[in-house]
Amino acid sequence: MTAAKPHCQPSGAYHIAIGDMTVTAVNDGTFQATFDMIAGIDQEDCIRIETAAFRPVPPKMTMNAFLLRTGDHVALVDTGCGTRSGPTLGMVCRNLAAIGIVPADIDTILITHMHPDHINGLIDEAGEAVFANAELVVNEAELQFFRDPMSPSRSPDGEPQEFFEGFRRATRPYGERIRTVRDGPVMPGVIAVTQAGHTPGHTGWLIESGGDSVMIWGDIVHMPHLQFTAPQAATILDIDRDLAVATRRRALDMAAADRLRVAGIHLDFPAFGHVERRGGGYAFVPEVWRAVV
């Protein structure tokens, strides 16, 4: 008898301990991207950089979310693409179920920013809330921007009207269960760090416990090897392109200088590692896989 070929990888979840907390990378899938979304660098250079690193061309982009278990809270950083982006995405809830977590367990959702690949997982196909018991926590500037009816007209060409409609659709079922924050602690062991540029309230979440830490990035990088090697590579979706590049450079430099562990929504799963300076840019050094948390 010939064994059937598998269609999917085993459950996409990977745990690390941060002091008394557990942080779990939860894969949402991958999608076929294009260098047309990249600005500030020639496509020929994109192809050269990616090909030299044995990366697929055209590129694939990874989507992740991150589960936090703090003792007092079960929180999720971003929610993935949900049901609207095709069969290779929308796997967050399936991978949560594989580690014994159901949506009702989650009491807090920390949003990096309000783009659809980060918030569409908030709702199901019927537009109802997936996380019935969760409070949404979002940067004050981010919520103001996406609620402002004038924002679409002030956005770059790459920021489609659909993003603003998607924001309204994804957040509507949560009603008053939305809390805005600025920089600083939002719950024990979780600190909001504004990383504006990609969007006005784009936010990283610094997790600290027991002398250990990890910085969870949103869209500091979309295409990891490319933007580590060439941090000047922006995207057409950056609301403020110059600020987004400056923020990326600052985040990469801080991670390298401070030897800060990082994790990213678009970093290759399981998405934990460190940043080192390399040549005129940077490189990502994946954390060594551990069998025991």
What CATH number is associated with residue 76?
A: 3.60.15.10
Is 6 within the bounds of a domain?
no
- Tens of pLDDT, residue by residue over 253-284, are 999 999 999 999 999 999 999 999 999 999 99
- Tens of pLDDT, residue by residue over 118-159, are 999 999 999 999 999 999 999 999 999 999 999 988 777 656
Is 282 within the bounds of a domain?
yes
Chain position carrying tokens 């085993």? 10
Residue 72 belongs to what domain range? 13-286
Beta bridge partners of 200: none
- If one counts the domains in the chain, the total is 1
Is 293 within the bounds of a domain?
no
Is 195 within the bounds of a domain?
yes
Beta bridge partners of 181: 139
Q: What is the band of 107 on the pLDDT scale with cuts at 50, 70, 90?
A: very high
Is 4 within the bounds of a domain?
no
- Tens of pLDDT, residue by residue over 222-244, are 999 999 999 999 999 999 999 99
Is 55 within the bounds of a domain?
yes
Give, as one character, the DSSP assignment of residue 260.
Answer: -
Is 57 within the bounds of a domain?
yes
Beta bridge partners of 194: 203
At 223, phi and psi to the nearest 5? -115, 100
pLDDT reported for residue 245: 98
Is 141 within the bounds of a domain?
yes
Residue 284 CB-density burial (10 A; 0-12 exposed, 13-18 middle, 19+ buried) = buried
Give the whole-angstrom CA distance, residue 281 versus residue 178: 38
